[in-house]
Structure 1
Amino acid sequence: MVEQSDHAPLLDWEEIPQTELAQTKENGSETSPPDLGSFGSTASGIGFSTSAGVPAVVTAVASVNGSPHLDHPGPWDVPSPIHTDPGISLKERVGWEERDQIVSVFVVTFDTRSGNMVEWCLPQDMNLDGVEFKSMASGSHRIANDFIYFRKGSYFGLACFANMPVESELERGARMKSVGILSPSYTLLYRYMHFLENQVRHQLQCPGSYSPLEAFYEDKKAVLPTSGNGLVSVCPTRAWIPAINRCMHPEMKITHPAGCMSQFIRFFGEQIMVLWKFALLRKRILIFSPPPVGVVCYRVYCCCCLANISIPGLGVSVPEFRPFFYINVADIAALATEVSYVACTTEKIFEEKKELYDVYVDNQNVKTHRNSLQPLLRLNGADREKYRKLSEQRQMLLYTQEVDGECTSNEEDLFILFFMEQNNRIFQTLSEVVASNDPTLTADHVRAMGLDPQADRSFLVDLMEVYGIDAMLVIDNPCCP
């Protein structure tokens, strides 16, 4: 456990020197922040090297070349085990660097008369409207502590919440605060989790002592150019931007406690395959859970990982599939304009706002009110075969980690690459069919994608429509599938 420091405030959030990181990588392992276990920081597909200003487009898995794999044994062609250099992590293959870009740091408190309110922030002219509700999830008064990822306009935030009993009638026996930060991307927010946890405890014990937060902001504040519309431009516009596959998010690099992906798989089980289809179709997915909400924010991230594709240029015209993380009633107006997102909430009222979402997830129960999407809720043989293959690969990885203590592969890499390969296989096959002299999609093509020609027919039709793929589907659609 990391002990809170009451002196030299910068020591609570100082990162590991690059020289130490290099040494640990040479020894076959990576150093993680204390008390968070082992990490798997992942940048999916596209790396932005802010130091060199050169984009790196990375295809993490081999594409399906030539004709579809029609000779694969078994009824469906499912992704085979991922063959990558065990000494190179996904993060290292991407080769992506990013500098700190903290645009704001703030303290939110609960006042018994005024409710949630921002009590302090830097810079003082920062527009933080709504942050007081995003940083304290509805229902948090019932728990002792939590952390929350959220989105504020063009920024992403991370806040740590704590609830401390006090002998004060004015505070009604409890003092609740959150300390948070904002950044243009959520990729590096995890670095400051312990600092925020330490600072929220410090704020509860010594209200009004902001010097550590002031020092933090002065050291980490972003110096970013402003575009003509007043929004921060994180990645300057260049000639290569249109060629980037926008389905591959440079932001998709979030570090979490060891076992997050494993917990996600165990929690949803085979239902992951249902979520995968909705994610690939860019549907609006809303996850409900009572507090604490931190672990649910990780489920939002895991859902986004299901839709990764590394085929350059594919899906440029489809909606971006970025996470909103935690939302509340103050986000209703913003969500009304979104055509694709993944978010979580602790407010049950959202279930009644059916115009705001396509898919509603309550515990392990995945449901949709849209009749056209109802067939996607039913698991078929191909779905179960893919889940079986994923489970086998996980067990093999766990066995390898147990036998070989220096194994650098992790479940996050396995999870992301498994679904990326599955998605690549589908779109590579579709691309080959469209480019052929006879753009006709047959049952053999569909099996080569790892799909069921009959049960996945509606999914495939929707997929081609969403991604603008012009091919003829000749698979019979029996009246009684």
Structure 2
Amino acid sequence: MVERSDRAPLLDWEEVPSAEKTDGEAPAVPHVKERLSSPCNNQAPSGCSGFGWSSGPGGPTFTRTVSNGDGCGAPPATSGAPAAVDEALPPDKDAHLSDPGAIEVSLEDRMVKWEEKDQIVSVFVVTFNTRTGNMLEWCLPKDIDLEGVEFKAIASGSHRVTTDFIYFRKGCYFGLACFANMAVESMEERGARMKSVGILSPSYTLLYRYMSFLEHQVRLQLQSPGHYSPLEAFYEDKRALLPPSGEGVVCVLPTNTWGAAINHSMHPEMKITHPAGCMSQFIRFFGEQIMVLWKLALLRRRILIFSPPPVGVVCYRVYCCCCLANISIPGVGIAVPEFRPFFYVNVADISALENELSYVACTTEKIFEEKKDLYDVYVDNQNVKTYRDGLKPLLRLSAADRDKYRKLTEQR
């Protein structure tokens, strides 16, 4: 029987959740200045900005989207109220902004209220060919570098499951792919047709919105291969425009001004961006061992989780493990680096993992267990182990750990 996650019903790609309260009042935005982390863990420089559109509760708002030197876009900064593109500032405001210090404060305040936009940089279809193995079948845009994505979108061992979903990293982007395996009466395909439909984005926090769309599209690709028009329409509606060099400004193209915007003041990794039940399932699965994972995550150790397919539920465990570490404490969050997920990795990612000082990832390839220099902690099922002598004492549960876990379960 194929293991399924407990994810809640998901939105179609056309939908955007409303930010308005039922009584018609706009949601209040906390005036708390916190560190904002872009996908590349850098704040956006104030001197490099691009332009785009977003839709807010009061209509279209003018937004800026920035990027750092390696081509990774930071979240767009928006003001709390709608503003026209060419609207002139009142004289007093203009004089106020002539002060460099005031401009810096204004930009910081706008960054606190940033709004995550749909920024799909690529959509693609991956298939399994009985002669050549995993291969990229189709993608938009045509000139984007997707080398290796065929091995991320179809995980090793996926032929043993009928459906799955996979979160992964590709360079400075994050991806989500939905996989399906369908029996066919074809000698050339050896009785099975396997495909994956996926997307890439600068942030992983909103990818879940498109899960149901991708699941539907992969079924469509299995039944009617080569039917790409829905994917083309999706990309045109959601795409983010990247410069030819892949560096500098990331501009969100103007789209339909439907829906309402959500102002965020929390770190991207701190928002509830995955279905209800994700964390509770994580706690139930690991039991008291969650206290061990919590300590290791706070120490920013390299944590690798092994599990055979399906991969989707394990990607949720990676996400939850990051949530354990990414606590928001005034005066602490800025100094502590973000604990970012790698999600699914395979042997092609070994060179990338060698250069990482801190990560959480999952894999279906048992060979990683032998690569002891790649990780500090290896998790197989509920078994947490390490070969680092300095970390071994942390694997032993103390009476205080058990007491904290008991209180945690009582609160649940």
Count of aligned residue pairs for this structure pair: 316
Give CA-to-partner distance per residue, 1:263-313, whole Å, 9 cap, x none. Answer: 111111111110000000000000000000000000001100111232344
Match of 1:171 among 170, 177, 189: 189
**Aligned partner of residue 255 in structure 1, secondary structure:** coil
- Contact 1:265–1:272, Cα closer than 8 Å, also in 2: yes
2:280 matched to 1:262? Answer: yes
Where do 5+ consecutive residues of structure 1 fail to align? Answer: 1-10, 28-43, 57-93, 236-247, 395-481
- Contact 1:46–1:250, Cα closer than 8 Å, also in 2: no
Give 1:328-477 correspondences, 5 Å limit.
Answer: 328-394=346-412
Q: Evaluate the alpha carbon distance shift between residue 293 and residue 104 of structure 1 in structure 2; reply closer, same or farther with a 3 A threshold.
A: same
Q: Evaluate the alpha carbon distance shift between residue 314 and residue 178 of structure 1 in structure 2; reply closer, same or farther with a 3 A threshold.
A: same
2:228 matched to 1:230? Answer: no
Q: Which has the larger radius of gyration?
A: 1
Q: What's 1:14 paired with?
A: 14
Give 1:232-251 correspondences, 5 Å limit.
Answer: 249-251=267-269
- The Cα of 1:330 is off from its aligned counterpart by 0.5
Q: What's 1:453 paired with?
A: none
2:297 matched to 1:279? Answer: yes
Q: What's 1:204 paired with?
A: 222
Structure 2-normalised TM-score?
0.71
Q: What's 1:104 paired with?
A: 122
Partner Cα separation in structure 2 for residue 163 and residue 254 of structure 1: 30
Where do 5+ consecutive residues of structure 2 fail to align? Answer: 1-10, 25-32, 38-52, 55-60, 64-76, 81-111, 253-265
Structure 1-normalised TM-score?
0.61
Partner Cα separation in structure 2 for residue 157 and residue 392 of structure 1: 36
Partner Cα separation in structure 2 for residue 365 and residue 255 of structure 1: 27
- Contact 2:126–2:197, Cα closer than 8 Å, also in 1: yes
2:137 matched to 1:137? Answer: no
Q: Evaluate the alpha carbon distance shift between residue 380 and residue 55 of structure 1 in structure 2; reply closer, same or farther with a 3 A threshold.
A: farther
Give CA-to-partner distance per residue, 1:405-428, whole Å, 9 cap, x none. Answer: xxxxxxxxxxxxxxxxxxxxxxxx
State the AA in 2 paired with 1:354: K
Q: Evaluate the alpha carbon distance shift between residue 231 and residue 165 of structure 1 in structure 2; reply closer, same or farther with a 3 A threshold.
A: farther
- Contact 1:320–1:340, Cα closer than 8 Å, also in 2: no
**Aligned partner of residue 129 in structure 1, secondary structure:** coil
Give CA-to-partner distance per residue, 1:218-259, whole Å, 9 cap, x none. Answer: 000013579x98266699xxxxxxxxxxxx842444633332
**Aligned partner of residue 371 in structure 1, secondary structure:** coil
State the AA in 2 paired with 1:13: W
State the AA in 1 paired with 2:293: L
Match of 1:327 among 342, 345, 351: 345
2:307 matched to 1:309? Answer: no
- The Cα of 1:391 is off from its aligned counterpart by 1.1
Partner Cα separation in structure 2 for residue 155 and residue 341 of structure 1: 15
**Aligned partner of residue 342 in structure 1, secondary structure:** strand
Q: Evaluate the alpha carbon distance shift between residue 266 and residue 321 of structure 1 in structure 2; reply closer, same or farther with a 3 A threshold.
A: same
Partner Cα separation in structure 1 for residue 149 and residue 350 of structure 2: 14
Partner Cα separation in structure 2 for residue 130 and residue 118 of structure 1: 9
Q: What's 2:132 paired with?
A: 114
2:185 matched to 1:187? Answer: no
Give CA-to-partner distance per residue, 1:165-205, whole Å, 9 cap, x none. Answer: 00000000000000000000011111110100000000000
Q: What's 2:87 paired with?
A: none
State the AA in 1 paired with 2:399: G
Q: CA RMSD in A?
A: 2.9
| Identity between Structure 1 and Structure 2 (%) | 77
State the AA in 2 paired with 1:200: V
Give 1:65-84 correspondences, 5 Å limit.
Answer: none
